[in-house]
Structure 1
Amino acid sequence: MDSKQPTGPLAGLRVIEIAGIGPGPFCAMMLSDMGAEVIRIDRAAPPDQGIDIPVLSNVTNRGRRSAVLDLKSPEGVEALKRLVARADALIEGFRPGVMERLGLGPDELLAVNPGLVYGRITGWGQEGPLAKAAGHDLNYIALSGMLHAIGPADRPLPPLNLIGDYGGGAMYLAFGMVCALLERAKSGKGQVVDAAMVDGAASLGAALYGLLDAGLWRDRRAGNLLDGGVPWYDSYETSDGKHIAIGPLEPRFYDAMLELLGVTDDTLRATLRDRSEANWPRLRAALAGIFRTRTRDDWCARLEGTDVCFAPVLSMAEAPHHPHTVAREGFVAVGGVVQPAPAPRFSRSRPAVQGPPPAPGEHTRDILADWGFTPEEVDRLSPRG
């Protein structure tokens, strides 16, 4: 861990993360990046996730220390309760009822620490007909209506796991926990934050649901302003097999694009000027033909930095090296692994990655000692893990 004192806006906050996958670790990473002290409670034998990620490459585990406790043993449960007594918040991502069966549910832990903010992240929520069913990001966003809206006309496409796990899950959990911590400053009381990915994914679609109600959004794919339906909000292939993205939704930005495309053929100019829906197929074909005449770098030289609403479609390997990203120091190297820098930024506080991802149990003794356990108590816990 970085020996410097955290300078982010959450410096001084103590958070316990019960190790999980997906949104729980991402939320803990966000809080750590903002300066919170996060300790991760790992299992001695982590569950099989179907993928073996090297420790340093497990980026969402960055910025905290790890202790191993056996939460199925009375000693492990008691040790966690002692940690909770000195914590501000806890994150857990098990199915509903698991923490209660361990004797570590909200009732038990709020009795230990009435000011605790108990953050829970699940796919379906703590109650409801599907609450205890297994699922993943794709399933939760499918139920929210968002998956149906993404992809070509013939089928929905998974938008990675950005909408459910991270946007609708981790970020809503982090937001909810900070809200509860702010409320605690007034009431002096902790509470439970129930963040469900199905809820968060639907919430992310609030504006689209409003447009749907107003008759300004069709309940189908590839037929709207933002879903690839209109030809002027889409990506196009260039002559070198790469892609660019254009998005001049407003007429003045669209006009700016037409001027910079340099089209002189009157028939083609007429096609480009007609944005009526009946002309969309011809307009898309015309734009595709134009953009295939130059390389991606050529189009960057002509359009980047203008009001065309343009960007090159960069690969993940390319993105950290773009001049704009470099100027903003948007990526950092931690333990030799290039990864996104903390976001957002502040005028006074300075978020920072507090260290590389830990190996499970790497800091067990240090954490227990720092959080008030005597050397003898640490020794007694060690044989049990």
Structure 2
Amino acid sequence: MKAIFENVRILSLAEQYPGPYATMLLADLGADVILVERPKGGDPARAYPPFFCALARNKRSVCVDLKSNEGRDQLLALAATADAVLEGFRPGTMDRLGVGYEAMKAVNERLIYVSISGFGQAGPYRDRTAHDLSYLAFAGHLFDRATGTRTDFPDVSYGDLSSAMFAAFSIASALFGRERTGRGTEIDISMTDGLASWMSTYLAPAMDGKVPFEILGEPAYGIFDVKGGRRITLSIAHEDHFWRALCALLNMPDAAGLVQADRLRDRDLLRTRISKALSAHSLDHWQPLLDRHSIPWSPLNSLGDVIDDPHLRSRNLFRKIARADGTIESHVIQPVRFGAWSTDIRRPAPDLGEHSTEVFRDIGIGSRR
């Protein structure tokens, strides 16, 4: 099968996490993603090879010194052949280097030019520096309804990943729009804007002076210990029928008729009863019973548990590919499955500048690796 973005060329100057994840998704769908890397060291994520390789499959790498006239000429020559450019520098950096949107549009009017930054290309905070935790805090993800703020925070970099998804979505959308209109476009991806969008169901009611929808206060929405040292999650958010099924399973008939308002009122007592009941038996005991009663739940898995899970194995989610030197890379494959389009892993993560000669030769200019 052909790939949906076959013959689409994307230049990626976005380093670390958001841009690389976005372009990995597009490369899996067939796009020719060319990493435009600095000659000395390349993407800083190369200092952590397992991290870099997890995101760099299906891509090629060229080295370009953007601080030199030759490098600027090389990038503009590449831009003339590209469908999209993705950059992740601080706002204004690409313009100062002479390779911003207007410079690239001058050589390619159909170009889709995407910028990812923490606070966007305009606004009072556009030059503020931060990393994922600070973006989460800024966009309200660390608020707590009871205390105002939380002291814990997720290990997963949601700001990076949400902006990556918005970037991939925007490129795909702009490619579709260009097919209809013939026009390229400039796209501004703000990590904090994206995280605020993810908070829509909290922020929209707050703007109207209303109380956001309650989930976390439900007594059967949380993490619970079971016998033997394992932990499980229950995720009964608001559905009375799931609550009734849980009460039947845990021998709590007196609580089965409680509606959400009652459950929220008595949450501490009910959570204590649930915890005591679940701790009496092991995961092996509860797993078939929770499934049989159609109760929303999951084991709290370690990374090893995820890798070994029979369901994910049956989905063929994990793949190993060999590099030219015989070493093996492991990958989590493209999660979106198309019946009519290929999403194969075609090549492992590239060495720094591995494809400089072939890429620049193909567009008729010289290169320095």
What TM-score results when the alignment is normalised by the length of structure 2?
0.89
Given the alignment, which residue of 213, 218, 228 partners 1:230? Answer: 218
Matched, 1:270 2:254: yes
Quick check: 2:3–2:29 contact (8 Å CA) kept in 1? yes
Counterpart secondary structure, 1:229:
coil
Matched, 1:343 2:332: no
Counterpart secondary structure, 2:304:
coil
In the alignment, which residue of structure 2 is the partner of 1:291?
278
Equivalent AA in structure 1 for residue 233 of structure 2:
A
- 1:119 shift after superposition: 0.8
Matched, 1:257 2:262: no
Matched, 1:26 2:17: no
In the alignment, which residue of structure 2 is the partner of 1:193?
187
In the alignment, which residue of structure 1 is the partner of 2:109?
114
> How do 1:358-377 residues align onto structure 2 when only pairs under 5 Å count?
358-369=350-361, 371-373=362-364, 377=365
Distance, in Å, in 1 between the alignment partners of 2:283 and 2:58 is: 37
Given the alignment, which residue of 85, 90, 94 partners 1:95? Answer: 90
In the alignment, which residue of structure 2 is the partner of 1:248?
236
Equivalent AA in structure 2 for residue 277 of structure 1:
L
In the alignment, which residue of structure 1 is the partner of 2:61?
66
Structure-2 change in CA distance of 1:152 and 1:317 (3 Å): farther
Structure 2: give runs of 5+ residues left out of the alignment. Answer: 323-327
In the alignment, which residue of structure 2 is the partner of 1:280?
267
In the alignment, which residue of structure 2 is the partner of 1:205?
199
In the alignment, which residue of structure 2 is the partner of 1:178?
172
Equivalent AA in structure 2 for residue 251 of structure 1:
D
Quick check: 2:112–2:174 contact (8 Å CA) kept in 1? yes
Counterpart secondary structure, 1:317:
helix
Distance, in Å, in 2 between the alignment partners of 1:134 and 1:47 is: 21
- 1:244 shift after superposition: 0.8
Structure-2 change in CA distance of 1:216 and 1:324 (3 Å): farther
In the alignment, which residue of structure 2 is the partner of 1:221?
none
> How do 1:290-329 residues align onto structure 2 when only pairs under 5 Å count?
290-304=277-291, 306-329=293-316
Quick check: 1:150–1:159 contact (8 Å CA) kept in 2? no
Moved more, 153-162 or 250-259: 153-162
In the alignment, which residue of structure 2 is the partner of 1:354?
346
Counterpart secondary structure, 1:58:
helix
Quick check: 1:55–1:359 contact (8 Å CA) kept in 2? no
In the alignment, which residue of structure 2 is the partner of 1:3?
none
- 1:103 shift after superposition: 0.7
> How do 1:31-46 residues align onto structure 2 when only pairs under 5 Å count?
31-46=26-41
Quick check: 2:11–2:82 contact (8 Å CA) kept in 1? yes
Quick check: 1:246–1:311 contact (8 Å CA) kept in 2? yes
Q: Percent identity?
A: 30
- 1:257 shift after superposition: 2.2
Distance, in Å, in 2 between the alignment partners of 1:350 and 1:64 is: 16
Counterpart secondary structure, 1:318:
helix
Quick check: 1:56–1:356 contact (8 Å CA) kept in 2? no
In the alignment, which residue of structure 1 is the partner of 2:143?
148
Equivalent AA in structure 2 for residue 235 of structure 1:
I
- 1:352 shift after superposition: 2.4
Equivalent AA in structure 1 for residue 310 of structure 2:
P
Quick check: 1:138–1:147 contact (8 Å CA) kept in 2? no
Equivalent AA in structure 2 for residue 17 of structure 1:
S
What TM-score results when the alignment is normalised by the length of structure 1?
0.86
Distance, in Å, in 1 between the alignment partners of 2:151 and 2:282 is: 30
Moved more, 61-70 or 303-312: 303-312
> How do 1:126-165 residues align onto structure 2 when only pairs under 5 Å count?
126-149=121-144, 155-165=150-160
- 1:297 shift after superposition: 2.9
Quick check: 1:19–1:42 contact (8 Å CA) kept in 2? no
Quick check: 2:46–2:52 contact (8 Å CA) kept in 1? no
Equivalent AA in structure 2 for residue 217 of structure 1:
P
Cα offsets for 1:45-92 (capped at 9, x unmatched):
237959931267631122201111111111111111111111100110
Quick check: 2:90–2:127 contact (8 Å CA) kept in 1? yes
Equivalent AA in structure 1 for residue 270 of structure 2:
L
